[in-house]
Amino acid sequence: MRPFLCAGLLLTLAGGVFGQSESQPKFEIAGIQPSAKQLNAFMRAAPPHNGRYEIRNATMLDLIRTAYGMLPDNVIGGPNWLELDRFDIVAKIPQGADADDQKAMLRSLLEDGFTLVASKETRPLPTWVLAAGKQPKMKEADGSGSTGCKLPESSGPPPEGALRLFSATPDGKTQQIVLGPGGVIQYNCRNLTMAAFAAELRTMMNAQLGQEPVLDETGLKGMWNFDLKYSLGLIGLLNQGGGEQITLPEAIDKQLGMKLEKRPLPKEVVVVASVNRTPTPNPPGLADALPAPPAPAEFEVADVKLAPPPTPGMPGIIGFQTQPGGRFNCRNCPLRFLIQRAFNTNNNEMVTGLPSGADSVRVEITAKASPEAVTGPGVDPDVIAPMVRSLLTDRFKMTYHQEERQVTAYTLTAVKPKLRKADPESRISCKRGQPGPGSPPGSQTITCQNASMAFLADQLLQFNPQLNWPVLNATGIEGGWDFTLTFSNLPPGLLAGAGRGGGDAPPAGAPDPGGGYTIFEAIEKQLGLRLKAEKRAEKLTVIDHIELKPTEN
């Protein structure tokens, strides 16, 4: 790592553009380096600990939105690589620096290290709005009873044509949720103002309303009682009992007489005028000033036991979390899940050799790691993996080795490409989104902008778990392209039950399938490309031995 001595000055608003001021808080010392390539790419950050500030695997967009306290969609402009290249930052933070100070220090570092030039402006952005329709269909409330929107409690088997889901309540218990035909979920809302209802909409299951609050523009005063039913999309496809599919906006319109719609509204944004792709050279001194804390190889203490059997008809919910201070909890975790965490993979094929019965074993773990290792509310897989691996070795007598074996993997090839040439200045990105009107339930849409075929091949593994192994690019297509891909992540067998067949593309001229496309069909039919299966040598972890019951605490 090339250290970088941060001598930057605080950005201040002057004529709409952030310039320099010697009054700005700054890191005492900071370093920047490109991130190592990872299959599961996402930013990792934790609260500063013992004077150490660290962000890993962050795109420039991540760094700018963090520095200015903005949502990703509120950072506009900038070069096409803003969401592509990833960086690690480590810095020494002055004692007593609060959250605003940390943002200011990061802004200063970005200006000095990447020559970032940015300005705050107000521009119209699409925003979800709750508005009154011609005739509201709700009952005025008298204010008695509980307040809010809740899922009705249910027990026992679901009625004919219905399905059930299970979720964890805040107190750790398991709640059964019954879905009607078509995968319809119901919320009972009582004693609710429209402002409170607008605020709750984003938290409803599968609402897909983004990260910003829904604005209340109904003009309705007082409190209201009403029920709201809408389809969960993917669950509706799984439901073979039929039933009408209704989206959340449609349900609000038909059932409440209200409107949930997107409108362009003025929002504060950060406009990126320019930023360098390569950071300035870093002077020496970082490694001595901020030595990396030793990574713990095992938990300091751990209580491990088999989870109690689930209540009939009420399966347990998996809980997996770390807490500040180094506390680690794994509730009702399948043994296979723990083994995958031990080797930091979500690929079911990457770990093999599990004994029969391993999938039915569930484990409860309460453990404590060094506070130096776990500082945030999330789970850092790189930190947790070696500790879980040691725990399984010690308490379940796990032994293993690694070897290369032939697996079925995929190569992206060109058939008759159906791609639109991109503006080379536009952002390189592939993002999940809501499928268009009329898409089969269970569909998801990926919209790619200025994406190379190599970039698409990298993204496919993240968007579809059925692929398992990295996809190789053999299309021979150069440059950046715009395209949209709509498919279902359901296994082919479930798609077949919903009106779809296996992995081959439908014949030319065949009608679109009612149950959606597999990823293989969508790539060929919609993009004119093909995922070709082939045998390839990949490194696997082979479990030589593991007990199905832990040793005594």
Please compute the mean of the pLDDT values over residues 144-163 and round it to a whole number.
Answer: 74
Neighbours of 70 (CB within 10 A): 18
- From its phi and psi, is residue 148 left (phi > 0), alpha (psi between -120 and 50) or beta? left
- In this predicted structure, the answer to whether residue 49 has a pLDDT above a threshold of 90 is no
In the prediction, which pLDDT does 162 show? Answer: 59
Give the residue among 486, 322, 476 at the shortest CA–CA distance from 388: 322
In the prediction, which pLDDT does 173 show? Answer: 65
In the prediction, which pLDDT does 38 show? Answer: 78
Q: Report in angstroms the alpha-carbon separations of 126 from 14, 123, 273.
A: 28, 10, 22
Instruction: Count Cβ neighbours within 10 Å for each residue of 110-145 and write b for 16 or more, e otherwise.
Output: bbbbbebbbbeeeeebebbbbbbeeebebeebeeee
In the prediction, which pLDDT does 19 show? Answer: 42
User: What is the number of residues in the chain?
Assistant: 553
- C-alpha 25/C-alpha 435 separation (Å) is 45
Task: Report the relative pairing of strands 420-421 and 481-488 from DSSP bridges.
Answer: antiparallel
Residue type at position 235: I
- From its phi and psi, is residue 274 left (phi > 0), alpha (psi between -120 and 50) or beta? beta
Widest pairwise Cα distance in the chain:
70
DSSP 8-class letter at 360:
G
- C-alpha 505/C-alpha 510 separation (Å) is 10
Give the residue among 411, 423, 402, 434 at the shortest CA–CA distance from 231: 434
H runs (alpha helix) in 85-134 = 99-114
Q: Report in angstroms the alpha-carbon separations of 463 from 254, 304, 408, 469, 505.
A: 33, 34, 18, 12, 19
Q: Where are the domains of the chain?
A: 3-116+275-289, 127-265, 301-399, 416-527
Establish how many alpha carbons lie within 13 A of residue 351's alpha carbon, considering only the half-sphere containing its beta carbon: 24
Please compute the mean of the pLDDT values over residues 198-217 and round it to a whole number.
Answer: 90
Which region among 47-61, 173-187, 525-539 has the lowest average model confidence (pLDDT)?
173-187
- C-alpha 113/C-alpha 429 separation (Å) is 24
Q: Report in angstroms the alpha-carbon separations of 43 from 27, 205, 215.
A: 20, 25, 29
Provide the pLDDT confidence category of residue 390 given band limits of 50, 70 and 90.
Answer: very high
- In this predicted structure, the answer to whether residue 358 has a pLDDT above a threshold of 50 is yes
The answer to whether residues 290 and 91 touch, using CB atoms and an 8 Å cutoff, is yes
Exposed (0-12), middle (13-18) or buried (19+): which is 301, by Cβ within 10 Å?
Answer: exposed
Measured in whole angstroms, how far is the alpha carbon of residue 432 from the centre of its chain? 10
Task: Report the relative pairing of strands 529-545 and 351-352 from DSSP bridges.
Answer: parallel
In the prediction, which pLDDT does 502 show? Answer: 39
**pLDDT single digits (tens) 92-101:** 999 889 999 9
- In this predicted structure, the answer to whether residue 534 has a pLDDT above a threshold of 90 is yes
Retrieve residue 392's tokens.
């399984």
The answer to whether residues 61 and 75 touch, using CB atoms and an 8 Å cutoff, is yes
Report the chain's mean pLDDT, rounded to a whole number. Answer: 83
**pLDDT single digits (tens) 450-484:** 999 999 999 998 888 778 899 999 999 999 999 99
> Computed over its alpha carbons, how large is the radius of gyration of the chain?
26
Q: Which residue has the higher pLDDT, 503 or 302?
A: 302
In the prediction, which pLDDT does 346 show? Answer: 86
Provide the pLDDT confidence category of residue 313 given band limits of 50, 70 and 90.
Answer: low
In the prediction, which pLDDT does 501 show? Answer: 39
H runs (alpha helix) in 260-368 = 286-289, 335-342
Task: Report the relative pairing of strands 117-132 and 215-217 from DSSP bridges.
Answer: parallel
In the prediction, which pLDDT does 22 show? Answer: 53
In the prediction, which pLDDT does 452 show? Answer: 97
- C-alpha 422/C-alpha 448 separation (Å) is 10
Q: Report in angstroms the alpha-carbon separations of 300 from 235, 303, 372, 395.
A: 42, 11, 12, 14
Which region among 357-366, 370-379, 441-450 has the lowest average model confidence (pLDDT)?
370-379
In the prediction, which pLDDT does 511 show? Answer: 36
Concatenate the DSSP letters of all residues of 216-278 into one string: EE----S-EEEEEEEE-THHHHH-TT------HHHHHHHHHSEEEEEEEEEEEEEEEEE--SS
| pTM (two decimals) | 0.82
